[in-house]
Amino acid sequence: MSDGPASPSRVLVTGGAGYIGSHVLHALTDAGIPAVTIDNLSTGRRAAVPAAVPLIEGDVGSASLLEQVMREHRVDAVMHFAGSIVVPESVERPLAYYRNNTVNSLTLMDCCVRLGIDRMVFSSTAAVYGDAERVPIDEDSPTRPINPYGTSKLMTEQMLRDAGAAHGLRSVILRYFNVAGADPAGRTGQATPAATHLIKVACQALLGRRPPLAIFGTDYPTPDGTCIRDYIHVSDLADAHVLALLHLRRGGESLVLNCGYGRGASVREVLRTLEAVSGEQVPARLAERRPGDPPQLVAGADRIRQRLGWVPRHDTLEEIVRSALAWERSLEPGPQRAG
């Protein structure tokens, strides 16, 4: 049933039942910004979506569904999260990634252009940079992805630029570094089965929900020999999306922005922080390096602060780890719920 002609415009959030999308929905709701979400619930979970947000179960690749939702809810902007994100899987199933990430994004953009929607915030990734030649990695660094996941995102970025030039579709492309943590209020968090993110895996190992953590390589050219990554709290990332939306609604120009803090933490630092927070030892084992793991990935993160006025509120490793552990403890033991 339609909200009616007097209802406010809504933001369409694709993939809003997933990890990052659900945090953004909560941030939008907290800011009083009406939203609607489409999610096929293949990896997302209904419980992650705020009660005030209509959830339409369906496929973002369906142009008819997109157009129906956009018209019915008077959508004036889109935040696009729906997609596949597992790098090794993208190598094994590249065509599935190009279909789900790139082709579906094309369908979404086409619907926006046809309905006159000229604002999109796009969930991209630092994987578009590939093996970066210099660290920190700023937005002007060469984009040379080394896997189909990164390539599928970079192709979508290029489509957004072309759609902007030809059709006036303005966009803010946000390139995430290592997203971690959970909503401080415990409303949502990462509940993906067989997750591969270090902090999530370390919390699961600590709680005995998976085998000891593998530390892949201890001979990297870093202070303690383990890889360094730029971890960003998911709630700070969600705030960046809200600011990006407000920028576009004010008539702001298209932007490409890194999402990170501009500093990194090593694998061993993450484990020490988790042990300090929990008072317990993380079961871990040493393993050989994984192919393709660069020693350091750290964002050049000045531009997002300058252009959006973004001020992180949760930017300590301790807070990231503490929120992730609290969320993990809130989940029932055994097989993880989807999300």
Helices (H), the chain: 19-30, 63-72, 87-92, 94-97, 104-115, 148-167, 198-206, 234-249, 267-278, 302-308, 317-330
64, 106, 264, 337 from 159: Cα distances, Å? 21, 7, 31, 34
47, 86, 116 from 103: Cα distances, Å? 28, 17, 20
| Residue-by-residue DSSP string for 21-66 | HHHHHHHHHHTT--EEEEE--SS--GGGS-TTS-EEES-TT-HHHH
Please identify which of the residues 19, 98, 129, 149 carries the catalytic annotation: 149
In sequence order, the β-bridge partners of residue 297 are 229
Given phi > 0 = left and psi -120 to 50 = alpha, else beta, which region is 295? alpha
- Give yes or no: 149 in active site: yes
Question: In terms of C-beta density within 10 A (0-12 exposed, 13-18 middle, 19 or more buried), how is residue 51 classed?
Answer: exposed
19/25 Cα distance (integer angstroms): 10
Taking every pair of Cα atoms in the chain, the longest distance, rounded to a whole number of angstroms, is: 62
User: Which residues are known catalytic residues?
Assistant: 149
